[in-house]
Chains A and B, each alone.
Chain A
Amino acid sequence: MADLTSEFIGIKSPNPFWLASAPPTDKEYNVRRAFEAGWGGVVWKTLGEAGPPVVNVNGPRYGAIWGADRRLLGLNNIELITDRPLEVNLREMKAVKRDYPDRALIASIMVPCVEDAWKAILPLVEETGADGIELNCGCPHGMSERGMGAAVGQNPELIEMITRWCKQTTRMPVIVKLTPNITDVRLPAEAAKRGGADAVSLINTINSITSVDLDDFAPEPTIDGKGSHGGYCGPAVKPIALNMVAEIARSAETAGLPISGIGGVTTWRDAAEFMALGAGNVQVCTAAMTYGFKVVQEMISGLSDYMDCKGFTSTEELVARAVPNVSDWQHLNLNYIAKAKINQDLCISCGRCFAACEDTSHQAIAMSEDRTFTVKDDECVACNLCVNVCPVEGCIDMVAMMPGTTDPRTGKVVEADYANWTTHPNNPMAAEAAE
Chain B
Amino acid sequence: MTGKLYVEGVTQGRLPPDQLSDNFGDLHPPLDAHEALVAADRCYFCHDAPCMTACPTSIDIPLFIRQIATGTPDAAAKTILSQNILGGMCARVCPTETLCEEVCVRETAEGKPVEIGRLQRYATDGLMARNDHPFARAAETGKRIAVVGAGPAGLSCAHRLAMKGHAVDILDPRPKPGGLNEYGIAAYKSTEDFAAREVDWLMQIGGITFKSGEKLGKTVTLEALKSDYDAVFLGMGLGGVNALGLDGEDKDGILPAVDFIADLRQASDLSRLEIGRDVVVIGGGMTAIDAAVQAKLLGALNVTLVYRRGQARMNASLFEQELAASKGVRIITNATPKAVHGNGAVREIEFEYTDDDLTPTGQTFRLAADQVFKAIGQTLVGEGLPELDGRKIKVDGTGRTSVSGIWAGGDCASGGDDLTVTAVAEGRDAAEDIHATLTGAAG
Contact = CB atoms under 8 A, between A and B. Distances in A.
Interface of A: 68-70, 348-352, 354-355, 367, 371, 391-392
A348 B109 contact: yes
Interface centre among A348, A352, A354 (most CB of B within 10 A): A348
Nearest to A390: B44
Interface of B: 37-38, 41-42, 44-50, 105-106, 108-109
Contact of B109 (A68, A351, A367, A392): A392
Contacts of A367: 47-48
Given A355-B47, A371-B50, A350 B41 contact: no
A355 B37 CA distance: 24
Contacts of A70: 37, 41
Given A349-B50, A350-B105, A351-B47, 11 more contacts: A70-B37, A348-B106, A348-B108, A349-B105, A350-B44, A350-B47, A352-B46, A354-B47, A367-B47, A391-B44, A392-B109
22 contacts: A68-B41, A68-B42, A69-B38, A69-B41, A70-B37, A70-B41, A348-B108, A349-B46, A349-B105, A349-B108, A350-B44, A350-B47, A350-B105, A351-B49, A352-B44, A352-B45, A352-B46, A352-B47, A354-B47, A371-B50, A391-B109, A392-B109
Contacts of B50: 349, 371
A348 B43 CA distance: 13
A351 B41 contact: no
Q: Which 8 A-B pairs have CB atoms at the shortest separation, nearest pair first?
A: A351-B47, A355-B47, A68-B41, A348-B105, A350-B46, A350-B105, A348-B108, A348-B109
A360 to B, nearest CB: 12
Interface centre among A350, A354, A367 (most CB of B within 10 A): A350
B110 to A, nearest CB: 9
Contacts of B48: 351, 367, 371
Contacts of B47: 350-352, 354-355, 367
A289 B265 CA distance: 54
A280 B263 CA distance: 77
Contacts of B108: 348-349
Nearest to B48: A351
Interface centre among B41, B42, B47, B105 (most CB of A within 10 A): B47
A68 B39 CA distance: 10
A403 to B, nearest CB: 35
Contacts of B109: 348, 391-392
Contacts of A349: 46, 50, 105, 108
Contacts of B106: 348
A88 B187 CA distance: 68
B209 to A, nearest CB: 43
Nearest to B46: A350
Interface centre among B37, B41, B44, B45 (most CB of A within 10 A): B44
Contacts of B46: 349-352
A348 B114 CA distance: 14
Contacts of A68: 41-42
A392 to B, nearest CB: 7
A378 to B, nearest CB: 22
Contacts of B42: 68
A355 B45 CA distance: 10
Nearest to A346: B109
A366 to B, nearest CB: 13
B105 to A, nearest CB: 4
Nearest to B41: A68
A31 to B, nearest CB: 34
Interface centre among A68, A69, A352, A355 (most CB of B within 10 A): A68
Contacts of B41: 68-70
B433 to A, nearest CB: 27
A146 to B, nearest CB: 39
A367 B42 CA distance: 23
A289 to B, nearest CB: 22
A308 B259 CA distance: 71
Contacts of A350: 44, 46-47, 105
Contacts of A352: 44-47
Contacts of A355: 47
A77 B108 CA distance: 41
A351 B105 CA distance: 10
A351 B51 CA distance: 12
Contacts of B44: 350, 352, 391
A261 B308 CA distance: 71
B228 to A, nearest CB: 47
A272 B357 CA distance: 65
A394 to B, nearest CB: 13
A38 B285 CA distance: 61
Contacts of A392: 109
A101 B45 CA distance: 53
Interface centre among B38, B108, B109 (most CB of A within 10 A): B109
B32 to A, nearest CB: 15
A125 B105 CA distance: 59
B333 to A, nearest CB: 32
B378 to A, nearest CB: 35
A350 B42 CA distance: 13
B55 to A, nearest CB: 16
A69 B37 CA distance: 7
A354 B44 CA distance: 13
B54 to A, nearest CB: 12
B10 to A, nearest CB: 52
Nearest to B53: A371
Contacts of B45: 352
A429 B37 CA distance: 54
A71 to B, nearest CB: 9
A422 B50 CA distance: 48
A371 B48 CA distance: 9
A231 B38 CA distance: 28
A143 B435 CA distance: 69
Interface centre among A355, A371, A392 (most CB of B within 10 A): A371
A48 B307 CA distance: 82
Interface centre among A351, A354, A355, A367 (most CB of B within 10 A): A351
A335 to B, nearest CB: 34
A373 to B, nearest CB: 9
Contacts of B105: 348-350
A314 B44 CA distance: 42
Nearest to B45: A352
Nearest to A358: B47
B25 to A, nearest CB: 29
A207 B59 CA distance: 43
Nearest to B49: A351
A68 B41 CA distance: 5
Contacts of A371: 48, 50
A367 B48 CA distance: 10
Nearest to B110: A348
Contacts of B37: 70
A399 B358 CA distance: 56
A377 B231 CA distance: 55
Contacts of A351: 46-49
Nearest to A66: B41
A352 B47 CA distance: 6
Contacts of B49: 351
A310 to B, nearest CB: 31
B71 to A, nearest CB: 10
A322 B50 CA distance: 43
A350 B103 CA distance: 10
A392 B108 CA distance: 11
A70 B34 CA distance: 10
A350 B44 CA distance: 7
A351 to B, nearest CB: 3
A70 B105 CA distance: 22
A349 B106 CA distance: 10
A68 B38 CA distance: 8
